[in-house]
Structure 1
């Protein structure tokens, strides 16, 4: 999509680009912007629709705003929250990445509270020692704030040390479960993953997955043969699966009461059945659909925005786009948003007759799911694949963390696991 040429303004202040959210999409946006500024090949590997020899003349200021002090490997959460030796490696502080140690990059820890689209300003509440409310103006804004999900699906702590305490306490609960009995409620991707990881890393525990529908993964737009195979793999891994059951749950008493009156008292209950909520409460209702996702154009700008003067972009899990929410898609969306901001600036400075946006394509349903020692994948043209070899190819031995860091050219900052314990697998709408 072309951006019309605009007369170059007389601007001396740096162009401030705020990226709200520092997970897969957000950190990719920042790194891609830096590659564009430096004239380097894009680490994500996408092509631009403008000549790479062109350089924006205006200086940049990039603000990465996130409630956490680091990049957490969300895809690996079920593994990190089941296996003690995986807790610390999956959270990398932003300060540990030398690529971000630049004068034009500012890391701000805080939660976005309000965005004024007209005045191009936002307010956020600081975390930790800076817990007051502050405001920022910007020239461009990339929203990558993800979904609101409860613990232990994702960390709720905003700092690494508290997260480690939370995760280790959670794992202790599994380890010390009465009669080594664990029940996972909810047979979506996260529940399937959690059940598989618990059984894989605590093989002497009895693990039961309870789901209210007749198939696991019932809410995902996937073929029946994939869902049926996922159920078979769960059972092969030693997980008992109860379908068409919706027990009432008392987490404090660790009590489940089924519709037929049966009462079950497992030693540990894990809830994985919550509906995820887009973290978009800071936007006006006009920018959102009925479920709270951001309505975006093909170029990932807000759908209501003038395409001739783009300012606001939404990427990752909060964007209303086709396909299943996946980390891999968020990575590429972050790159597309950064390219499009740079293209808009080229056009604004009159450096080309026109600069072109990259469009985000229609994406068919695809998934990578880790279940215990095996993984399952589905995508257009490949059908359903599963097995231990699929796990190795898709997730490696750390649920895709090494793959993600290598993709972002950040692998130099990763401290590999040194323990000799076999590494299990993990789930989530994957790579």
Structure 2
């Protein structure tokens, strides 16, 4: 990134950001703003070809990223040498291996999630084809669709499918007696989510685990699925969508000293790495990959990116000027959440408790799941500001 004019000892710095989602982009945009003196709708995108086309945004189409100081590398990082400040990268397009040196590193590669929680395609054409095939599978399923897993992803997925295909039978199965059972949220929030699912026409089966899934052929040669529940009940469905896959940290390229026992990156409130590593003050972690308390959400990831960008900039300017950086420390995230459940949103914050309704849907997600640049959801973002 370019240095600021008029700063004694100013020079150009190389900042490498690993990961181009909410946290990584927030960090980059914050740095661009300061140096100039400035995957929410996945369930819907995978079920609707038109929305999929609209939701695939290229980096060069984001106005804030059109800067001569920003370069994009499409590839995967195989390892990072903290002492040498070098990242080893395998480029996707050329298959070449490159060593990328840096002055500061921001790690924001997030967690690995399976389909259909997130798309698996890496280029736009493949993504559109993936969404089209998935939508056709849903439409052609005569025996209905079963979503297994009643967490945030499963709830939004089931509701979105029912809105997009109102004549299709959609069933949500969850092993616990209440939805969103793994989240530290009150019962009245989960109950409101369940009632919104019923309103939109989703059938729910709670307190039952799927113990067996068997493919069988119908008399006309079609393949369907027979699900056996823990209480012995059997269901037949044309399509099973799993929303219970465990998210896996993408931190295998980092030295083990930087990670906790679960593979998350240990950080200080400044977002700098806290493990016993060389040049720890020059390394940051943001987003879902960071070992930080609270529900992992895109709003929190963007908030972390903003703080990391600010603190990184303060450190490099202090290095130039020989001054002390004005560092912002991140507070633990309060347990807040906002879900799109059909045409309504349901949210919970410590100050306002449970809220729901169509107006809240517009406030939180706009008309297109927050995809348009004109819509910036505020209510849940405000409550995490320090």
Q: CA deviation at 1:283?
A: 1.3
Q: Partner of 1:294: helix, strand, or coil? A: coil
**Residue equivalent to 1:131:** 95
How far apart in 1 are the matches of 2:63 and 2:269?
33
TM-score by structure 2 length? 0.89
* Structure with the larger RCO, 1 or 2 (CA within 8 Å, 6+ apart): 1
Aligned equivalents of 2:277, 2:351: Cα separation in 1 = 37
Who is 2:55 aligned against?
A: 90
8 Å Cα contact 2:268-2:274 kept in structure 1: yes
For residue 322 of structure 1, report the CA deviation from its aligned partner: 2.0
Q: For residue 229 of structure 2, what is the aligned residue in structure 1?
A: 258
Residue of 121, 145, 148 corresponding to 2:86? 121
Specify the SS of the correspondent of 1:113. strand
Name the residue aligned to 1:142. Answer: 106
C-alpha contact (below 8 Å) 1:9/1:348 kept by paired residues: no
Say if 1:110 and 1:126, in contact at 8 Å, map to a contact too. yes
- Number of the residue aligned with 1:187: 150
How many angstroms apart in 1 are the aligned matches of 2:278 and 2:8? 18
Counterpart in the other structure of 2:42: 77
Quick one: distance in 2 between partners of 1:393 and 1:102?
31
Q: Does the 8 Å CA contact 1:76/1:399 hold for their aligned counterparts?
A: yes
Q: Which residue of 2 aligns with 1:159?
A: 123
Cα deviation for residue 331 of structure 1 reads 1.1
CA drift of 1:350 comes to 2.9
**Distance (whole Å) between structure 2 residues aligned to residue 144 and residue 39 of structure 1:** 24
State yes or no: 1:199 paired with 2:162: yes
User: Alignment partner of 1:220: what SS?
Assistant: coil
Aligned position for 1:415 = none
Cα separation, partners in 2 of 1:286 and 1:21, compared to 1, 3 Å? same
- C-alpha distance in 1, partners of 2:337/2:65? 31
Residues 258-407 of structure 1: matches in 2 within 5 Å? 258-304=229-275, 310-352=281-323, 354-402=324-372, 406-407=375-376
Q: Matches of 1:143 and 1:124 in 2, distance apart?
A: 14
Partner residue in 1 for 2:36? 38
Q: String of CA shifts for 1:210-256, please: whole Å, max 9, x gaps.
A: 11111110000111111111111111211111112111234785331
Cα gap change, 1:246 to 1:393, in 2 (>3 Å): same
Gaps of 5+ in 1: 1-7, 41-73, 409-431
Which residue of structure 2 lines up, in the alignment, with residue 18 of structure 1? 16
| SS of corresponding position for 1:256 | strand
Query: Paired residue for 2:77?
Result: 112
Cα gap change, 1:260 to 1:363, in 2 (>3 Å): closer
Say if 2:139 is the partner of 1:168. Answer: no
1:217/1:227 contact within 8 Å kept: yes
The whole-number CA distance in structure 2 between the counterparts of 1:126 and 1:93 is 18
Unaligned residue ranges in structure 2 (runs of 5+):
1-6, 216-222, 378-386
Structure 1 position 199, deviation (Å): 0.7
Count of residues in Structure 1 that have an aligned counterpart in Structure 2: 363
**CA RMSD across the alignment:** 2.2
Q: Deviations over 1:282-313 (max 9, x none)?
A: 11222112221111101011112689961111
Q: Could you tell me how far apart the structure 2 residues matched to 1:250 and 1:328 are?
A: 39
* Structure 2 Cα separation of the partners of residues 9 and 304 of structure 1: 32
Cα offset for 1:133? 2.5
1:52 matched residue in structure 2: none
Change (3 A) 1:393 1:317: same
Partner of 1:67: none
Residue 305 to residue 123, structure 1, CA distance change in 2 (3 Å): same
The aligned counterpart of 1:420 is none
Counterparts of 1:306 and 1:347 in 2: how far apart (Å)?
22
Mapped contact 2:338–2:364 kept (Cα < 8 A)? yes
Match of 2:195 among 200, 207, 232: 232
